[in-house]
């Protein structure tokens, strides 16, 4: 539909939708948490994390009901709401810490909560100021890049080959193995975490980008051209391959979520305001209700005993260790062990082999596990933790201010591209949902994948003619 068409949801309908969503996410869920999870008296840090959950519920409600495809901001808040709000509050009140991060001192709870709030506040302030100033300055014309058909075909073949190599090494049975068996199998093949992350990324992202590019090329192909059928078969085959290398059973939930959401965006789920509402509202529901169910099948029958009430999904669950890893990072940043900038240098130079750089920094999650003496090293390292170990609390404040500006700028560029497609539409399908992986960390493992994805996106890009321009700014699309 035309980019200039009006939203068919009236102001009254939007108000009702926002109100109902706020009543659910920002009031009912926090209130239900307080009722269902008794306070054991561990600390009062839950008051801050509950505040984050309430505000996150408000922000998510406004975004999905408005229907603008500001997906970078959306996924930032989806992660923050679930991991820093709901999950952290449940675990603090119940004093049920993930078994992968044992021995957490309650004295760290409140300082950690303040650090989390500092990052959130810095992000909100910078994001809000950027949006307001750009709104006053008017719209800027963006030249829409397109997708190269020849390069897309080559990337498709390379992607199929890389995925085939991955399956040949790991075995086809990996697609139906539970998550822990799959991790063990991949660890045997590629013991180094950073190397393993790169091979997984090479198996997933080239074919994921290629599928999106094929769909974009198909849309640009005239109706009646036999090539459209060929491209449709290529896209379907690529999706089938992704179903194996990014299986919902064996792969990380966030990898599967990235792939699934990107494919939906390729198919036009964010093309109009109404579809965007369905997509973002559905993603909130999936993260709250569907992903916990999928989790039961990732680890075998032993996971079934952990499921009791809605909030028991978060209690003691190592998938939601983010708050405690930030606490460990805060402790590390205050110790004599901290070396400013060392961890981020390792992430930026992830491609340097360890034989050349023997003391190359390990994954931040592993480093924090070693610092605390944990036997289990496959831990997260959220954005807050990465900033703490590289520059302390000051880095958290500055880093999240920068993040707020960057994500607001990206959303402004891509909001309209979701409606018209092209290369920016391809970028906007993959990178925003990848924010969930970047936010959870660790940066070292996430960097390899994002570099692979960016390289593939750059490869299929074709510069646009000078007469193809689009205003940067919010969508104005019909449903």
> How do residues 114-149 score in pLDDT, each as one tens digit?
999 999 999 999 999 999 888 766 555 556 778 888
d(CA 117, CA 58): 16
pLDDT tens-place string over residues 383-427: 999 999 999 999 999 999 999 999 999 988 887 777 777 788 888
Please report the pLDDT score of residue 479 as a whole number. 46
Kindly state the percentage of the chain with pLDDT values over 90: 44
pLDDT band at 464 (very low <50, low <70, confident <90, very high): low
Report the candidate in 66, 183, 122 with the shortest Cα–Cα distance to residue 398: 122
Q: How large is the average pLDDT for residues 287-297?
A: 70
Concatenate the DSSP letters of all residues of 268-311 into one string.
TTTSSHHHHHHHHHHHHHIIIIIHHHHHHHHS-GGGGGG--SGG
Mean pLDDT score of the chain: 85
d(CA 216, CA 288): 32
With b for 16 or more beta-carbon neighbours within 10 A and e for fewer, the 247-266 pattern comes to bbebbbbbbbbbbbbbbbbb
Flag whether pLDDT at 288 surpasses 90.
no
**Contact call for residues 388 and 396 (beta carbons, < 8 A):** yes
CA 209 to mean position of chain CA atoms: 16
d(CA 247, CA 32): 33
Which of the residue ranges 126-130, 332-336, 375-379, 450-454 has the most confident prediction, judged by mean pLDDT? 126-130
Concatenate the DSSP letters of all residues of 333-397 into one string.
HTSTT--TTHHHHHHHTTTS-TTTSTTPPPPHHHHHHHHHT-S-------HHHHHHHHHHHHHHH
Helix or strand run (H / E) with residue 196: helix 193-220
Q: For residue 318, what is the DSSP state?
A: G
Q: For residue 247, what is the DSSP state?
A: -
- Backbone angles phi and psi of 468, in degrees to 5: -110, 100
d(CA 474, CA 68): 7
**Contact call for residues 434 and 258 (beta carbons, < 8 A):** yes
d(CA 45, CA 231): 54
Burial class (CB in 10 A: 0-12, 13-18, 19+), 477: buried
Q: β-pairing, 469-472 with 146-147?
A: unpaired
Flag whether pLDDT at 350 surpasses 80.
no
**Contact call for residues 102 and 374 (beta carbons, < 8 A):** yes
d(CA 106, CA 112): 10
**Contact call for residues 199 and 446 (beta carbons, < 8 A):** no
Please report the pLDDT score of residue 394 as a whole number. 96
Q: For residue 171, what is the DSSP state?
A: -
146: three-class secondary structure by DSSP: strand
4: three-class secondary structure by DSSP: coil
List, in sequence order, the alpha helices (H) in 95-190.
109-137, 149-170, 179-189
Flag whether pLDDT at 335 surpasses 60.
yes
Phi-psi domain of 226 (left: phi exceeds 0; alpha: psi -120 through 50; beta: other): alpha
Flag whether pLDDT at 5 surpasses 60.
no
d(CA 327, CA 98): 13
Flag whether pLDDT at 449 surpasses 80.
yes
- How crowded is residue 321: how many other Cβ atoms within 10 Å of its Cβ? 26
Q: Considering the entire predicted model, what is its pTM?
A: 0.87
pLDDT band at 153 (very low <50, low <70, confident <90, very high): very high
Structural tokens at position 471: 């205003």
User: Rounded to 5, what percent of the chain is helix, strand, coil?
Assistant: 70, 5, 25
d(CA 208, CA 449): 12
Q: How large is the average pLDDT for residues 181-190?
A: 79
Kindly state the percentage of the chain with pLDDT values over 70: 89
Please report the pLDDT score of residue 256 as a whole number. 84
**Contact call for residues 351 and 450 (beta carbons, < 8 A):** no
Q: For residue 268, what is the DSSP state?
A: T
Q: Which residues contact 414 (CB under 8 A, 6 or more apart)?
A: 69, 71, 72, 424, 425, 427, 428, 432
Q: For residue 472, what is the DSSP state?
A: E
Out of 41-55, 306-320, 434-448, least confident range:
306-320
The residue whose two tokens read 């792939």 is: 259
Please report the pLDDT score of residue 32 as a whole number. 94
Please report the pLDDT score of residue 246 as a whole number. 86
Burial class (CB in 10 A: 0-12, 13-18, 19+), 322: buried
Flag whether pLDDT at 377 surpasses 60.
yes
């Amino acid at each position: 539909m035309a980019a200039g068409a009006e939203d068919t949801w009236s102001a009254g309908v939007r108000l009702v939708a926002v109100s109902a969503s706020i009543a659910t996410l920002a009031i009912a869920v926090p209130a239900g948490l307080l009722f269902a999870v008794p306070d054991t008296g561990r600390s009062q840090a839950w008051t801050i994390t509950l505040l984050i959950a309430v505000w996150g519920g408000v922000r998510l409600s406004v975004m999905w009901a408005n229907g603008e495809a500001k997906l970078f901001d959306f996924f930032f808040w989806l992660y923050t709401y679930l991991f820093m709000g709901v999950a952290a509050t449940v675990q603090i009140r119940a004093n049920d810490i993930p078994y992968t991060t044992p021995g957490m001192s309650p004295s760290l709870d409140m300082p950690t909560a303040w650090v989390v709030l500092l990052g959130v506040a810095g992000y909100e302030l910078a994001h809000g100021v950027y949006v307001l100033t750009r709104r006053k300055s008017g719209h800027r014309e963006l030249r829409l890049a397109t997708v190269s058909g020849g390069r897309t075909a080559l990337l498709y073949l390379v992607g199929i080959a890389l995925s085939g190599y991955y399956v040949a090494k790991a075995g086809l049975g990996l697609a139906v193995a539970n998550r822990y068996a799959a991790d063990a199998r991949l660890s045997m093949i590629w013991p180094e975490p950073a190397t393993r992350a790169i091979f997984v990324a090479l198996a997933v992202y080239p074919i994921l980008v290629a599928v999106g590019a094929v769909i974009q090329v198909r849309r640009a192909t005239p109706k009646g051209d036999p090539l459209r059928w060929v491209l449709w078969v290529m896209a379907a085959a690529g999706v089938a391959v992704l179903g194996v290398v990014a299986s919902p059973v064996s792969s990380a939930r966030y990898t599967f979520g990235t792939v699934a959401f990107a494919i939906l965006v390729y198919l036009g789920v964010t093309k109009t305001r109404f579809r965007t509402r369905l997509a973002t509202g559905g993603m909130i529901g999936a993260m709250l209700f569907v992903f916990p169910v999928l989790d039961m099948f990732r680890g075998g029958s032993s996971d079934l005993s952990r499921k009791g009430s809605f909030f028991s999904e978060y209690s003691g669950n190592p998938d939601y260790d983010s708050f405690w890893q930030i606490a460990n990072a805060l402790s590390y940043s205050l110790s004599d062990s901290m070396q400013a900038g060392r961890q981020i240098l390792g992430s930026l130079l992830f491609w340097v082999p360890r034989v050349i750089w023997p003391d190359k920094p390990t994954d931040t999650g592993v480093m924090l596990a070693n610092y605390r003496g944990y036997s289990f090293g496959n831990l997260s390292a959220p954005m807050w933790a990465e900033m703490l170990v590289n520059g302390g609390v000051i880095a958290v404040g500055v880093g999240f201010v920068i993040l707020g500006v960057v994500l607001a700028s990206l959303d402004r560029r891509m909001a309209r591209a979701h409606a018209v497609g092209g290369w920016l539409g391809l970028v906007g399908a993959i990178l925003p949902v990848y924010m969930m992986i970047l936010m959870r960390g660790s940066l070292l493992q996430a960097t390899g994948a994002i570099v692979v994805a960016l390289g593939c996106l750059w490869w299929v890009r074709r510069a646009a003619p000078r007469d193809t321009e689009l205003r940067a700014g919010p969508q104005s699309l019909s449903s």
